[in-house]
Structure 1
Amino acid sequence: MKLVRTGAAVAVAFVLVFPLYWMVVVALSSRRDLLGGRVGLVPGDLTTENFRRVLDAFPVSTWFVNSVAVSLSVAVLTVVTNLLAGYAFAHLRFRGASPLFVLALATLVLPVQVIMVALFRLVTEMQLYGTYWAVILPTSASALGMFLARQWFIGIPRDLLDAARLDGAGEWRTFSRIVLPNARPLVAVLFFMSLLSSWNDFAWPLIALKDNELFTLPIGLLYLQGQYGPDYTATMAYALLNVAPMLALFVVFQRSFVQGFTSSGLR
């Protein structure tokens, strides 16, 4: 049985890792070798020419800074709103809490395309269209993150919170001094989830931003494909530049990420 589980894990890992491996191979291969069919699973002559062409043709550094600024802003705001909402649903009693929680979870089944028109009208009337805030504010909360936070906070003994209140601590002091220090893995998983989602977001930033200087990396990939056409080596090189930061971040913080998930009820 253990052999079967190990074999299944290896097979799943291969399926997940192979596209990334092939991206690296194509990105480090020359266009001539790719068109000539001389690129195999084991790469031959490697070159960084594709990365140089992409960096010379497009303001990749500017788009990278934009992605970092937008993603970090979204991640910080999402963590704050989800922690507060999760604590409220877990330990505060107010009228309509259950229906409101169910309504918030129901938004998980709505694709972003359904609300794009409403979001566009909203940011336009607020005079935010074409700015970073048009991308940051509509995505600064997550129903899934709120659910994870609620599940985590439910696991905190109510007697501990009642003891703090009896000692004179208000709700904010109870949250900041007792609850929050014990939720570091949760903060890590919420931060990484929102950061990854915002980093890879394409559809809404493409609509909300109109200035090329404000574009993020995923939007830049669309412009690269339009200019280079079937030049898959340049496209893969750019895609690798987009994937690498999030991949490195996950490798560094994978322990906190996994611990946060396993402790939040999604086992």
Structure 2
Amino acid sequence: MSTISTPHPGPDARPITRQRRAKRLKYLRVAAAALAGLAMALPLYWMLLTAFSPLSDLHTTSLHWWPSDFTLENFRTVFAFPVWTWAMNSTVITCCVVAVTVTVNLLAGYVFAKMRFRGRNLVFLVLLSTMTVPVQVLMVPQFKLVSGMGLFGSFWAVILPASSTAFGIFLARQFMLGIPDEILEAARMDGAGQIRTFVTVVLPLCKPLVAVLSLLTFLYQWNDFAWPLTVLKDSRLYTLSVGMQFVNGEYTANYGAIMALALLSVLPMVVIFLCFQKYFVQGFARSGIK
């Protein structure tokens, strides 16, 4: 009785199988990324749809994926309020916060990464532990501090409490740990002090880090609502996020006008992110944050 032998795969069969598996994984990753992108883009599309839709589309139970009548009435309603003043206030406050916060975070990150002193690790751990404290818990002591300094009702009441962040210092330290100490030693041998070493050697190497810190600080401060609402008592000093509450009616909410103002508020962040996207990704990659 003869036996039938099955042919064994040749040496080229395994690479072909691996290539097929790699292609399948690639297609799955692309599909998953497309679904994730669609899920994240859907709220933005709904905001656009609501901003350009008439009130008749907003007060109906049927679902509309396109405006029945393209209109700018919601934007006319928004510009009846001092939107440009609120936008200028948001710009001034956010730019000041970004400048102060990024500077303080970079200096603190440099100290924790490259300078040796007693209790450095303990101070850094205590600093990181503040990230576990909710922001709402800090609002009362911050309010008392701001009131005691006579800053209540001014832009400084918003700017100074945001002058540094624990996460920003952590991110700066992780990034600067990757800078070789030999470069700093060479600068000191040439007679450079700590400040000159930081400005001329360390800072040019931290462009991706500066972009990340600037973008994160800008996004957080531009969207901040609770703290500016607490310390800004004059409506002429309100930011866009705080002024959005005036668009609501006394008994009903004008969702079209709200979404129109939200769209105007989102546009600067989208433009800034697109401009700094390259440095944003590099900064996170080189900081070791996954």
Q: Distance in 1 between matches of 2:249 and 2:233?
A: 17
SS in 2 for 1:263: helix
Letter in 2 for 1:89: F
Cα distance in 2, alignment partners of residues 203 and 34 from structure 1: 28
Displacement of 1:38 in angstroms is 6.1
**Farther off after superposition, 30-39 or 217-226:** 30-39
The reply to whether residue 222 of structure 1 matches residue 233 of structure 2 is no
Partner of 2:64: 40
- Alignment partner, residue 146 of structure 1: 169
Which has more radius of gyration?
Answer: 2
Q: Which residue in the other structure is 2:146 paired with?
A: 123
More helix by proportion, 1 or 2?
1
Within 1, Cα distance between the matches of 2:266 and 2:218?
13
Contact residue 57 and residue 68 of structure 2 kept, 8 A: no
**What residue identity is the alignment partner of 2:268?**
P
1:251 aligns with 2:253: no
More relative contact order in 1 or in 2 (CA 8 Å, sep 6+)?
A: 1
**Cα deviation, residue 33, structure 1:** 2.4
Match of 2:206 in 1: 183
Identity of counterpart residues, as a percentage? 50
Contact 1:29–1:39 (CA under 8 A) maintained in structure 2? no
Q: Which residue of 1 aligns with 2:155?
A: 132
SS of aligned partner of 2:79: helix
SS at match of 1:36: coil
| Alignment match, 2:89 | 66
Give the AA of the match of 2:91. V
Q: Deviations over 1:61-98 (max 9, x none)?
A: 00000000000000000110000000000000112111
- Asked if the contact 1:26/1:39 (under 8 Å) is kept, the reply is no
Q: CA RMSD in A?
A: 1.3
Cα distance in 1, alignment partners of residues 247 and 132 from structure 2: 32
Q: CA separation of 1:134/1:226 partners in 2, compared to 1, >3 Å: closer, same or farther? A: farther
Whether contact under 8 Å (1:116, 1:204) holds in the other structure is: yes
Q: Cα offset for 1:45?
A: 2.2
Q: Residues 92-103 of structure 1 correspond to what in structure 2 (within 5 A)? A: 92-103=115-126
Q: What whole-Å deviation, never above 9, does each CA across 1:226-249 have from its counterpart, x for those lacking one? A: 447222111111111111111121
Give 1:217 shift. 0.6
Q: TM-score, normalised by structure 2?
A: 0.89
Aligned counterpart in structure 1 of residue 41 of structure 2, from 11, 17, 29 = 17
CA contact (8 A) 1:152 1:264 kept: yes
Unmatched 5+ stretches in structure 2 = 1-24
Cα distance in 1 for partners of 2:134, 2:252 equals: 29
* Cα offsets for 1:108-155 (capped at 9, x unmatched): 111110011100000000000000000000011011111111111110
CA–CA distance in structure 2, aligned partners of residues 206 and 81 of structure 1: 25
How many residue pairs align between the two structures? 266
Q: In structure 2, what is the equivalent of residue 49 of structure 1?
A: 73
